[in-house]
């Protein structure tokens, strides 16, 4: 820490950070554009100018960019004295800015607007002509309005440098500079949505949001969570006129930092979908005509049948809802609603986290890791935010080089120059090429069983007390030694695996490696990705591995209550059919129409994450609370309401009491009765407009404001803005900082943890030091022509988000992916389909990096149910083949797709 | 003592003068305009009935920017943005609850396109309160209102149907992004 | 019974009718006059010159919801507004309008009037307390304080008249002014009495119990409909009563000035009495239009520090002169 003087104020700042970051951390306002806390400094926008004085006698000083200045002990700076320069700089920036704020989606939360006001520029003196640019079509997610660009280069620095995108960059020169793709087309990166938040002005905007656009201040928001995968990114969804409008990132340094993936950002449109169940229905038999059930009627029917029915929980329902169902039917009648294998894997992960000497890796740990091994998990498609963090981890070599040369870490461009394409090691063992291959040191293609075998071998190589593997080939031995030594040398090695490959052996191997790396002074980072938003929460509620969906279907029960679960996505259709046919009564609680729901004789309209509150437990067993964003129509209630008479807080307390180590669940919210200056926390911003007109067309007499009986938030604008108390951190806003950049006002230090808000609570405290090992399991021999492995799609594999229009535009129907040699063996021609044993015909794509004799089957895409397939299948060229209308080969973005299949089907 | 006495006397005197001066007003002409028998002259800037206007090309001026709604101190304006196939923004619905409106004119001041204007018409009373809720079709007129020349999209950089990039006022034609020439 | 003699039924009916009609008319007259003082027109829509405005007002007041707040003391709340019109009307029984025109001629008439006027303050006080509302309570308190202070020197100020006329009977006082109005020997008494009369009838500038600028509407904040109407009417009857008392005490009652008598003495008497009364009514309205309301502490210090000594001085001097003359 050093002492500096800024405009006469003495500040104590960190000399390893840049001056801009430090000045902002002290609560001062200093305009900036190109600097970003996650992306470092390049000093290109000239907005953060300050005067630096040589010594106490110096009166003139010299102009420096704060973001490119390291604070010196005892130095004197002035923000005020450089005000004129900054005003001139922004005047130049604004010369070509179009006169279109009223029709710009960024208006009202625009960093450029804020900085222009802050710099004092308000009148365009230059009366020459403005430069203009044409726009590009950049796909269904991002709108492009190039005229608004101020060439701060943040988009490129995020898209290329930070997120590793390859199809976007700067073009032309000087004041013609253009940011776009080499030709029009959808952006390929899974993180393109962040451009809308990273861009300080309205060049890149949220396209689905623009279709039903309202200003930031008109959105009713609440601290929420992404329900798209197991990472549990913190989000801030916004509602207006009863529909969910958009999702933006909500900062949490340990979970998602400043960024979200596109599934999380654009995948919530299903909340407004026509497929929503909006009323509860009941019927006497499976085939009788349904009739509407009132809230009381539906609830009492459910309670009446609860006594002798089984309950089937869900990994996408909240902890409270699952708990309420367990309470309702009794723990012995409560089944997890996932396959035996999946339940076993979830419990295995819990067991590993509890009993192995590992550090459960959060995003900060991942970003700080300097050697990574990914075991069979397609992280980009199953837990995308982790993939973005992994891209930062390989830069640790460069940071180390910079440290050795004694220049600061925030010198982004300089470090990139220094590092060139040198990276920290990252190894991938996978059944197919993944989107992280470009940063990987080595990629080994092989089945999950084979990857697991190599994993065990690596563990043994690192620590010889780990169980050994026999029969490695010379190539494999060489790979094992390379990976083992890289991991051993690293100061923070990271092992990533997960349930994606559906292999318990793989997870056991990952655990063994992490255990083996455990040394006197270091713990290996271990991240085991689970399948869905609350998979780990569900596993916590299961007392044994016995109560899986398979057991539920074999239980001969006559009545069943299914909680937010489409059984047809979890088990073979034939067994679900026979299970449901054997039932006298089937009650389904869900938000969207599903095949299971269609056969129920009691359907209860359940709220989505946006309409209810609850707790999700993410892949690192971190429990996080999400608050309802808005109140749906009266007939839609939360699953917890349908299942229990208790209040939500009582259910949360119940979870905390019944889960071992779960006491933290009850501390996620400040608790009932929390208030700031005697008022609850408002969901609406202080500028919320139209309150007395929005419902006036229905009735001019205004209804009472919606009440949130259980929450500590209100559906109104009454209350104190978060600046005073951000314990419940809703939308970031600070005076003069209307954009999401204002988040630094709430952070303990710019870019660091939030001052007051909760980060969630990890339910597993790992303080194990003893090493235990998983035994090497021999892979079961599968019989059949092609061994099946799962493929995941960020857009389409997740059940709920797949119902969103924007996601549908980036998704495709089911297909199979095979090796070129296998394709020619089957005699496949360019536009042929492949008929899958007993499961109809689908299109195919050829991928060069798939092991011969294996076939990739996408999970959750329409047209082929992965669960209907055995471990190995036979394939044939399809006869009478017509390409399905929803088949969009162009939406399959993989690095190893060969050109042959581009003609296959293709775009309409 | 005398000073206080004189001061008090002065106060009493001033009361008497007040009485006299006010009494004299009995013989002044009354200032009242006897509306509705006499219709007063309304000035163009009077803040009365709110209208939505069209630009000189006959297109809706409102671009649904929401600034009127946020400026409104009684929050009586609600609208929703939508756009046509060429990217021109306009309100899907635009509603003013006149039973809440206080005719402050902030909406007109906030409007960047001169779309929303207050007119001298003040006779807006209704017997049914629901009739005070006005939608876009009730407020949209066929003319330009008080400002005849302004056409927002002619000065804004956003392309709309009939006006491409670089065709607005004081704009150069779009740059060639494939060129590195200065 | 049907002739003009004090206490006849004819008198009673006529006086009651005229007083009530005048009180209603006064409302219109005041608003019209205030309009003129303010360069406005005043109410001119209902009937010719808007003269039926009071009728419209009464219809409105009667048809309004008769609301008793649930937190109020119900009985007191209902009784309070009745007091003021009753006691004010009772006081009118003492007023001699002309020879043979009056309701009763009591030898303690003046004391009776004072007593009734004192009772009137209960209306405001009880209304204020019964409303169970802090503003109403403040209004009631102000009314009580103001009454107590101003009643003291009001009483003292008229003692000069009593000494001169040697009578408490109002008719006796008027008759004693046959040869000269008491306004000349009792000028100070007249000024003091007029100020006290304004305060006594809660007229501007002494309407602090209502003081809408600071305490909403004071003691009648919670009142609506005809209950409010009773306060209103009572206040106007009170104003009329004070406007009657001033001529009776200081301006020779029914005696014509400068010997301008005409016709029958009853007609002439009623005319002059009426003319003098209306003059003071108009003066009261002018005061309302012209003068600003004092602060409550100013009101009090004026009462106790200026008016009371002044009236005592007046009493002292008058008494001394009468004693000297008598001896």
Interval A49-102: pLDDT, tens: 999 998 888 889 999 999 999 999 999 999 999 999 999 999 999 999 998 999
Q: At what angle are helices C74-92 and C109-130 packed, to 10 degrees?
A: 160
CB contact under 8 A, B78 and A696: yes
CB contact under 8 A, A692 and B175: no
User: Encoding tokens for residue A463?
Assistant: 């620590």
Interface test with C, best of B23, B33, B38 (most C CBs within 10 A): B23
The residues near C262 (Cβ < 8 Å, ≥ 6 apart) are: C256, C268, C271
pLDDT of residue A343: 94
> Domain spanning A786-904 has what CATH number?
2.40.40.20
Instruction: Note if the bond before B36 is cis, omega within 30 degrees.
Output: yes
* Contacts of A among chains (3+ CB pairs under 8 A): B
The residues near C189 (Cβ < 8 Å, ≥ 6 apart) are: C157, C158, C160, C161, C182, C250, C311, C314, C318
Sign of the CA dihedral with B74 first, then A737, A261, and A749 last: negative
pLDDT digits (tens, 9 = 90+) for C271-302: 989 999 999 999 999 999 998 888 888 888 88
- Which residues are bridge partners to A529 per DSSP? A498
pLDDT of residue A904: 41
pLDDT of residue A905: 42
Q: What is the least distance, in Å, from the CA of B19 to any CA of chain C?
A: 5
pLDDT of residue A77: 94
Mean pLDDT of C101-118: 87
Evaluate whether A218 touches A240 at the Cβ level (below 8 Å): yes
Identify the closest residue of chain A to B81 by CA–CA distance. A213
> Which of A469, A460, A462 lies closest to A522 in space, CA to CA?
A462
Chain A neighbors of B93, CB-CB under 8 A:
697
Mean pLDDT of A722-737: 86
With an 8 Å CB cutoff and a minimum of 3 pairs, decide whether chains C and B touch: yes
Q: What is the least distance, in Å, from the CA of B56 to any CA of chain A?
A: 19
pLDDT at A13 over 60: yes
Q: What are φ and ψ of residue A617, in 5° steps?
A: -120, 120
DSSP state, residue A581: H
Q: What is the least distance, in Å, from the CA of B74 to any CA of chain A?
A: 7
Instruction: Note if the bond before B139 is cis, omega within 30 degrees.
Output: no
Interface test with B, best of C33, C34, C35, C39 (most B CBs within 10 A): C39
- In this structure, whether the domain defined by B50-154 belongs to CATH 3.30.70.3270 is answered with yes
pLDDT of residue A898: 60
pLDDT digits (tens, 9 = 90+) for A796-839: 999 999 999 999 999 999 999 999 899 888 888 877 889 888 88
Chain A neighbors of B156, CB-CB under 8 A:
98-100, 102-103
User: Encoding tokens for residue A118?
Assistant: 């802050």
Chain C neighbors of B32, CB-CB under 8 A:
39-41
Helices (H) and strands (E) in chain C, counts: 12, 0
Mean pLDDT of A763-770: 85
User: Encoding tokens for residue A796?
Assistant: 């389409």
Rounded Cα distance, B40 and B49, in Å: 16
Q: Exposure pattern of C171-196 as b/e (b: 16+ CB <10 Å)? A: bbbbbbbeeebbbebbebbbbbbbbb
DSSP-based three-state secondary structure for A595? helix
- Mean residue pLDDT across chain C: 87
pLDDT of residue A235: 95
Q: Tell me the pLDDT band of A199, cut-offs 50, 70 and 90.
A: very high
Mean pLDDT of A601-621: 94
Q: What are φ and ψ of residue A151, in 5° steps?
A: 45, 50
User: Encoding tokens for residue B174?
Assistant: 């779009």
CB contact under 8 A, C39 and B18: no
CB contacts under 8 A, B 61-120 vs A, are 63-67, 69-70, 72, 74-83, 89, 93, 95-97, 99-100, 112-113
- In A89-163 the beta strands, taken as DSSP E runs, fall at 130-132, 142-144
Tell me, what's the ipTM? Answer: 0.89
pLDDT of residue A193: 95
CATH class belonging to A2-92: alpha beta
Surface-to-core class of residue C259, CB atoms within 10 Å of its CB (0-12 exposed, 13-18 middle, 19+ buried): exposed
pLDDT at A907 over 50: no
pLDDT at C3 over 60: yes
Identify the closest residue of chain A to B166 by CA–CA distance. A132
Evaluate whether A873 touches A822 at the Cβ level (below 8 Å): no
Domain map of chain A by residue range?
Answer: 2-92, 343-530, 786-904
pLDDT of residue A200: 94
Rounded Cα distance, A219 and A203, in Å: 21
Rounded Cα distance, A454 and A479, in Å: 9
pLDDT digits (tens, 9 = 90+) for A374-413: 999 999 999 999 999 999 999 999 999 999 998 898 999 9
Rounded Cα distance, A804 and A809, in Å: 9
Q: Tell me the pLDDT band of C2, cut-offs 50, 70 and 90.
A: low
pLDDT at C185 over 70: yes
**What is the Cα A776 distance to its own chain's centre?**
33
The residues near C282 (Cβ < 8 Å, ≥ 6 apart) are: C33
Rounded Cα distance, A275 and A594, in Å: 9
CA distances from C151 to A268, C137, C199 (A): 78, 21, 9
Interface test with A, best of B90, B153, B157 (most A CBs within 10 A): B157
pLDDT at A902 over 50: no
Rounded Cα distance, C22 and C37, in Å: 21
Interface test with A, best of B177, B180, B182 (most A CBs within 10 A): B177
CB-based contact (8 Å) between B133 and chain A? yes
Q: How many residues does chain B have?
A: 182
pLDDT at C219 over 70: yes
Rounded Cα distance, A544 and A613, in Å: 27
CATH class belonging to A343-530: alpha beta
> Which residue matches tokens 């549990």?
A232
CB contact under 8 A, B158 and A127: no
Global model pTM greater than 0.95? no
Mean pLDDT of A786-798: 93
pLDDT of residue C327: 66
pLDDT of residue C175: 86
The residues near A419 (Cβ < 8 Å, ≥ 6 apart) are: A395, A397, A398, A401
Evaluate whether A224 touches A233 at the Cβ level (below 8 Å): no
Enumerate residue ranges in chain B where pLDDT < 50: none
The residues near C98 (Cβ < 8 Å, ≥ 6 apart) are: C254, C265, C266, C267, C268, C269, C270, C273
Identify the closest residue of chain A to B72 by CA–CA distance. A689
Mean pLDDT of A690-716: 89
> Which of A456, A314, A455 lies closest to A377 in space, CA to CA?
A455
> Which of A573, A574, A571, A579 lies closest to A553 in space, CA to CA?
A579
Mean pLDDT of C251-270: 83
CB contacts < 8 A, B to C, total 36
pLDDT digits (tens, 9 = 90+) for A579-604: 999 999 999 999 999 999 999 999 99
Q: Exposure pattern of A477-495 as b/e (b: 16+ CB <10 Å)? A: eebbebbbebbeebebbbb
Across the interface, which of C37, C291, C306 has its CB nearest the CB of B25?
Answer: C37
pLDDT at A608 over 90: yes
- Which residues are bridge partners to A216 per DSSP? none
pLDDT at C197 over 60: yes
Evaluate whether A541 touches A330 at the Cβ level (below 8 Å): no
Q: Tell me the pLDDT band of C10, cut-offs 50, 70 and 90.
A: confident
């Amino acid at each position: 820490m050093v002492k500096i003087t800024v405009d006469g104020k003495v500040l104590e700042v960190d000399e390893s950070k840049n001056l801009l970051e430090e000045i902002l951390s002290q609560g001062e306002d200093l305009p900036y554009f190109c600097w970003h806390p996650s992306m470092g400094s390049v000093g290109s926008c000239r907005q953060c100018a300050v005067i630096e004085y040589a010594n106490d006698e110096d009166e003139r000083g010299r102009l420096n960019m704060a973001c490119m200045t390291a604070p010196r002990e005892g130095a004197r700076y002035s923000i005020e004295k450089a005000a004129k320069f900054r005003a001139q700089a922004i005047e130049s920036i604004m010369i070509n800015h179009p006169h279109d704020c009223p029709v710009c989606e960024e208006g009202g939360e625009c960093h450029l607007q804020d900085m222009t006001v802050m710099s004092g520029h308000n009148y365009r003196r230059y009366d020459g002509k403005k430069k203009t640019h044409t726009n590009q079509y950049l796909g269904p997610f991002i709108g492009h309005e190039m005229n608004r660009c101020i060439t701060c280069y943040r988009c490129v620095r995020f898209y290329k440098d930070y997120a590793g995108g390859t199809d976007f960059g700067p073009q032309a020169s000087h004041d013609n500079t253009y940011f776009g793709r080499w030709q029009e087309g959808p952006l390929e990166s899974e993180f393109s949505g962040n451009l809308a938040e990273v861009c300080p002005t309205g060049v890149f905007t949220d396209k689905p949001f623009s279709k039903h656009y309202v200003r930031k201040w008109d959105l009713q928001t609440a601290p929420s969570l992404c329900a798209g995968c197991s990472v549990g990114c913190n989000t801030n969804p916004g509602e207006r006129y009863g529909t969910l409008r958009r999702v933006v990132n909500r900062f949490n340094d340990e979970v998602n930092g400043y960024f979200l993936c596109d599934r999380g950002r654009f995948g919530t449109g299903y909340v407004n979908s026509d497929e929503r169940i909006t009323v509860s229905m009941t019927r006497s038999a499976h085939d009788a005509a349904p009739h509407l059930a009132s809230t009381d009627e539906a609830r009492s029917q459910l309670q009446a049948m609860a006594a002798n029915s089984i309950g089937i929980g869900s990994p996408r329902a909240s902890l409270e809802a699952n708990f309420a169902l367990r309470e309702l039917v009794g723990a012995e009648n409560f089944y997890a609603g996932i396959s035996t294998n999946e339940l076993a894997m979830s419990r295995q992960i819990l067991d590993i986290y509890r009993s192995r000497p590992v550090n459960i890796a959060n995003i900060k740990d991942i970003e700080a890791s300097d050697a990574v091994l990914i075991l069979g998990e397609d992280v980009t498609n199953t837990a995308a935010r982790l993939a973005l963090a992994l891209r930062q981890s390989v830069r640790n070599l460069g940071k180390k080089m910079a440290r050795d040369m004694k220049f600061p870490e925030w010198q982004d461009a300089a470090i990139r120059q220094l590092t060139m394409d040198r990276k920290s090691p990252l190894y991938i063992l996978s059944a197919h090429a993944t989107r992280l291959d470009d940063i990987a040191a080595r990629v080994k293609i092989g089945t999950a069983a084979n990857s697991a075998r190599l994993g065990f071998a690596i563990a043994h190589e690192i620590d010889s007390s780990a169980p050994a593997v026999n029969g490695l080939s010379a190539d494999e031995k060489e790979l094992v030694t390379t990976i083992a030594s890289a991991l051993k040398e690293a100061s923070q090695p990271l092992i990533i695996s997960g349930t994606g490959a559906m292999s318990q052996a793989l997870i056991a191997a990952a655990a063994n490696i992490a255990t083996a790396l455990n040394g006197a002074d270091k713990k290996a980072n271990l991240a085991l990705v689970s399948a869905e938003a609350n998979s780990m929460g569900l596993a916590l509620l299961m007392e044994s591995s016995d109560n899986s969906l398979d057991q539920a279907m074999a239980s001969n029960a006559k009545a069943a209550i299914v909680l937010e679960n489409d059984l047809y996505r979890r088990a073979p259709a034939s067994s679900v059919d026979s299970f449901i046919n054997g039932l006298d009564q089937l009650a389904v609680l869900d938000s969207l129409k599903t095949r299971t729901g269609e056969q129920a004789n009691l359907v209860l309209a359940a709220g989505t994450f946006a309409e209810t509150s609850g707790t999700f437990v993410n892949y690192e067993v971190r429990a996080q609370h999400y608050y309802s964003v808005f109140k749906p129509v009266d007939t839609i209630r939360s699953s917890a309401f349908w299942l229990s008479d208790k209040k939500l807080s009582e259910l949360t307390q119940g979870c905390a009491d019944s889960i071992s180590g779960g006491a933290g669940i009850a501390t996620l919210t400040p608790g009932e009765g929390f208030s700031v200056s005697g008022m609850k926390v408002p969901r609406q911003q202080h500028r919320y407009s139209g309150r007395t007109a929005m419902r006036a067309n229905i009735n001019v007499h205004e209804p009472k404001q919606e009440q949130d009986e259980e929450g500590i938030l209100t559906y109104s604008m009454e209350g104190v803005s978060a600046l005073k108390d951000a314990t419940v951190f809703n939308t970031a806003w600070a005076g003069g900082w209307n954009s999401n950049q204002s988040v630094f006002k709430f952070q303990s230090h710019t870019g660091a943890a939030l001052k007051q808000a909760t980060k969630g609570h990890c339910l597993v405290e790992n303080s194990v030091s003893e090493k235990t090992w998983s035994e090497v399991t021999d892979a079961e021999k599968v019989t059949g022509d092609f061994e099946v492995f799962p493929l995941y799609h960020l857009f389409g594999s997740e059940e709920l988000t797949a119902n969103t229009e924007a996601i549908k535009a980036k998704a495709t129907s089911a297909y199979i992916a095979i090796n070129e040699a296998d394709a020619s063996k089957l005699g496949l021609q360019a536009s042929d389909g492949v008929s899958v044993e007993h499961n109809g015909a689908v299109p195919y794509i050829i991928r060069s990096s798939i092991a011969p004799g294996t076939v990739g089957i996408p999970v959750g895409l329409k047209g082929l149910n992965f669960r209907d397939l055995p471990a190995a299948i036979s394939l044939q060229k399809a006869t009478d083949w017509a390409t399905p209308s929803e088949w969009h080969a162009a939406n399959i973005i993989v690095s190893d797709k060969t050109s042959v299949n581009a003609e296959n089907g293709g775009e309409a | 003592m005398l000073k206080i006495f004189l001061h008090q006397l002065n106060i009493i005197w001033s009361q008497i003068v007040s009485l006299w001066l006010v009494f004299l007003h009995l013989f002044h002409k009354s200032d009242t305009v006897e509306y509705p028998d006499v219709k007063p002259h309304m000035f163009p800037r009077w803040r009365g009935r709110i209208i939505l206007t069209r630009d000189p090309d006959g297109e809706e001026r409102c671009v649904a920017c929401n600034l009127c709604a946020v400026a409104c101190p009684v929050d009586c304006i609600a609208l929703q943005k939508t756009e046509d196939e060429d990217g021109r923004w306009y309100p899907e619905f635009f509603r003013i609850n006149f039973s809440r409106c206080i005719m402050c004119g902030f909406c007109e001041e906030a409007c960047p396109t001169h779309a929303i204007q207050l007119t001298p018409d003040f006779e807006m009373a209704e017997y049914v309160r629901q009739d005070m809720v006005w939608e876009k079709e009730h407020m949209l007129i066929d003319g330009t209102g008080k400002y005849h020349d302004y056409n927002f999209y002619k000065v804004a950089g956003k392309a709309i149907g009939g006006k491409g990039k670089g065709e607005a006022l004081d704009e150069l034609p779009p740059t060639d992004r494939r060129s590195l020439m200065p | 019974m049907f002739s003009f003699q004090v206490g006849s039924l004819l008198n009673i009916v006529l006086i009651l009718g005229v007083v009530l009609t005048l009180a209603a008319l006064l409302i219109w007259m005041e608003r019209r006059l205030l309009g003129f003082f303010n360069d406005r027109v005043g109410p001119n829509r209902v009937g010719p010159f808007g003269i039926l405005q009071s009728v419209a007002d009464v219809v409105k007041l009667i048809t309004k919801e008769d609301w008793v707040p649930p937190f109020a003391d119900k009985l007191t709340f209902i009784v309070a507004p009745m007091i003021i019109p009753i006691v004010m009307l009772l006081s009118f029984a003492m007023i001699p309008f002309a020879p043979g025109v009056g309701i009763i001629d009591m030898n303690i008439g003046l004391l009776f009037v004072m007593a009734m006027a004192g009772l009137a303050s209960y209306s405001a006080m009880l209304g204020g307390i019964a409303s169970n509302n802090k503003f109403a309570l403040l209004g009631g308190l102000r009314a009580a304080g103001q009454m107590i202070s101003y009643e003291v020197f009001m009483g003292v100020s008229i003692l000069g008249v009593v000494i001169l006329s040697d009578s408490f009977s109002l008719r006796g006082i008027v008759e004693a002014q046959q040869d000269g109005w008491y306004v000349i020997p009792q000028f100070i008494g007249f000024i003091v009495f007029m100020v006290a009369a304004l305060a006594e009838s809660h007229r501007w500038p002494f309407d602090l119990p209502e003081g809408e600028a600071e305490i909403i509407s004071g003691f009648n904040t919670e009142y609506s409909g005809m209950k409010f109407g009773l306060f209103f009417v009572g206040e106007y009857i009170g104003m009329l009563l004070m406007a009657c008392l001033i001529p009776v005490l200081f301006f020779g009652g029914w005696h014509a000035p400068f010997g301008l008598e005409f016709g029958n003495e009853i007609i002439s008497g009623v005319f002059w009495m009426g003319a003098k009364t209306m003059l003071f009514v108009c003066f009261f309205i002018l005061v309302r239009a012209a003068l600003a309301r004092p602060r409550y502490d100013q009101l009090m210090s004026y009462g106790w520090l200026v008016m009371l000594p002044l009236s005592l001085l007046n009493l002292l001097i008058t008494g001394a002169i009468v004693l000297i003359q008598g001896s």
